[in-house]
């Protein structure tokens, strides 16, 4: 039985993402994991970082990949399949590579649950829209929005992965101390890893030219941008010799 596109849940999901992004900015508090977990959640039940990141990110890969795999091969036409493939590629890395390499602090279970629910909902929204609702003209591959969007996505993913590598090298296994990150875009901003991911999702939104992708890019900008701001402030307070020319998220600007 074929599934027809229902616009109401797509609009509702997109509006929810945008509202969550606006709420994050309004509250202006860092999410209580990583370096903020001890202050914000001192007595919370925690899981090891690797297990927590794996469980949290898994739905963002498994849900859209399952939707895509459930379609007859004759219906898996580009470019929507390419776009969903990029989405899945990002979360394949986050689920099966990043989670196994991270050296982060133990993760509060309450934030794991929130992240799991978010990833489940967003994975369903993006997968459902691209498989059942998206319609692209045959020439979309040559459209500047698609070409530029794919370029930005790949660029951002490269920045994100490289920045995560730099951060991992700051600690030996088992360490929880903080050092000043150096190299790559950390030369210019404190949140180079966040900047890379924001660029990814802006590229994804541009290439897909869809409301769900735009809403997710907006949420990512709000959530990760605020986290970069708090990271920058944390570094300035902790290190007297922190580079004064370094900005929080946007080189030379912010």
96-143 pLDDT tens trace: 999 999 988 888 899 999 999 999 999 999 999 999 999 999 899 999
Can you give the pLDDT at residue 217? 98
- Burial (Cβ within 10 Å: 0-12, 13-18, ≥19) of residue 70: exposed
159-169 residue pLDDT tens:
999 999 999 99
Residue that is written with structure tokens 């963002």 in the block: 60
| Position 6 in a domain | no
Domain end residue (candidates: 120, 136, 152): 136
Q: Residue 157 belongs to what domain range?
A: 138-253
Q: Is residue 132 domain-shared with residue 178, that is, in the same domain?
A: no
**Quick check: 99 and 168 in contact, CB under 8 A?**
no
Q: Is residue 149 domain-shared with residue 100, that is, in the same domain?
A: no
Q: Is residue 240 domain-shared with residue 154, that is, in the same domain?
A: yes
- Burial (Cβ within 10 Å: 0-12, 13-18, ≥19) of residue 197: buried
What is the DSSP code string of 212-236?
HHHHHHHHHHHHHHHHHHHHHHHHH
Residues near 211 by beta carbon (within 8 Å), at least 6 away in sequence: 10, 11, 14
Q: Is residue 235 domain-shared with residue 146, that is, in the same domain?
A: yes
pLDDT-derived band of residue 38, with 50, 70 and 90 as boundaries? low
pTM: 0.92
Please check the confidence at residue 39 and state whether its pLDDT lies above 80. Answer: no
From CA 2, how far away is CA 246, in angstroms rounded? 53
| Position 111 in a domain | yes
């Amino acid at each position: 039985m074929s599934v027809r596109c229902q616009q109401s849940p797509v609009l509702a999901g997109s509006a929810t993402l945008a509202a969550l992004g606006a709420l994050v900015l309004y509250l202006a508090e860092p999410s209580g994991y990583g370096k903020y977990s001890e202050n914000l959640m001192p007595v919370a039940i925690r899981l090891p970082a690797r297990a927590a990141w794996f469980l949290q990110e898994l739905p963002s890969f498994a849900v859209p990949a399952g939707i895509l795999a459930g379609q007859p091969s004759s219906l898996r036409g580009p470019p929507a399949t390419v776009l969903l493939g990029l989405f899945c590629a990002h979360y394949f890395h986050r689920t099966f590579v990043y989670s196994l390499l991270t050296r982060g602090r133990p993760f509060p279970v309450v934030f794991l649950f929130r992240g799991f629910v978010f990833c489940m909902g967003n994975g369903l929204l993006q997968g459902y829209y691209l498989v059942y609702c998206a319609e692209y003209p045959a020439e979309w591959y040559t459209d500047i929005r698609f070409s530029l969007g794919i370029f930005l996505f790949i660029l951002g993913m490269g920045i994100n992965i490289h920045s995560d590598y730099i951060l991992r090298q700051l600690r030996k296994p088992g360490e929880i101390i903080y050092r000043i990150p150096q190299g790559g875009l950390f030369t210019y901003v404190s949140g180079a890893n966040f900047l890379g991911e924001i660029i990814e999702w802006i590229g994804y939104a541009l290439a897909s030219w869809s409301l769900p992708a735009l809403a997710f890019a907006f949420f990512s900008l709000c959530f990760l941008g605020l986290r970069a701001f708090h990271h920058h402030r944390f570094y300035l307070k902790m290190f007297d010799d922190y580079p004064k020319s370094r900005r929080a998220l946007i080189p030379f600007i912010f």
